[in-house]
Copies of this chain bind each other. A is one copy, B any other.
């Protein structure tokens, strides 16, 4: 329900059409949400069916008509509910992408270290970039801060891992 929450949150600020919604999200919130265009249209359709939003055609000049969405009273109620639920619960993060770490023992440290070095470089670059993002106004900033703090933690952890690997294999000593 998190993407629905986001779409409702944007539509309650102002009416928007589908393309505008996805562009906005992918430009401003790419760091925390990945919402493909077809998925957005799919969700919007479902929300129309559920009565949370309505769709109307907007003709502008000679352009093909666009579908503009607006939130309903019921949608606003759902938004209020979803937002409270979302804020009050902790969603355990999943790190599926990092599963390679569990299989690290398939490689020797000599092989693993250069690979992880490359990862460290990419991560450091992303962190630097995230820190440079100009301070947005209001709540957007929370999302960036949040991201930055996780990237920093990841970098710390990775550097620590590299140190441990360099020091030698975790031989079971007795």
Let me know if A102 and B9 touch, CB within 8 A: yes
In the complex, A140→B33 CA distance in Å?
Answer: 29
Within 8 A of B (CB), among A70-87: 79-80, 83-84, 86-87
Whole-angstrom distance between the Cβ of A19 and the nearest chain B Cβ: 20
Interface assignment of A115: CB less than 8 Å from any CB of chain B: yes
Let me know if A104 and B33 touch, CB within 8 A: no
Query: In the complex, which residue of chain B has the Cβ closest to the Cβ of A112?
Result: B87
Q: How large is the interface on A (under 10, 10 to 19, 20 to 34, 35 or more residues)?
A: 35 or more
Let me know if A102 and B29 touch, CB within 8 A: yes
Whole-angstrom distance between the Cβ of A97 and the nearest chain B Cβ: 3
Let me know if B88 and A142 touch, CB within 8 A: no
Whole-angstrom distance between the Cβ of A119 and the nearest chain B Cβ: 5
In the complex, A93→B142 CA distance in Å?
Answer: 16
Query: In the complex, which residue of chain B has the Cβ closest to the Cβ of A155?
Result: B90
Q: Which of B99, B157, B170 contacts A32 (CB 8 A)?
A: B99
Which of A12, A118, A150 has the most chain B CB atoms inside 10 A of its CB?
Answer: A150
In the complex, A145→B156 CA distance in Å?
Answer: 12
Let me know if A2 and B32 touch, CB within 8 A: no
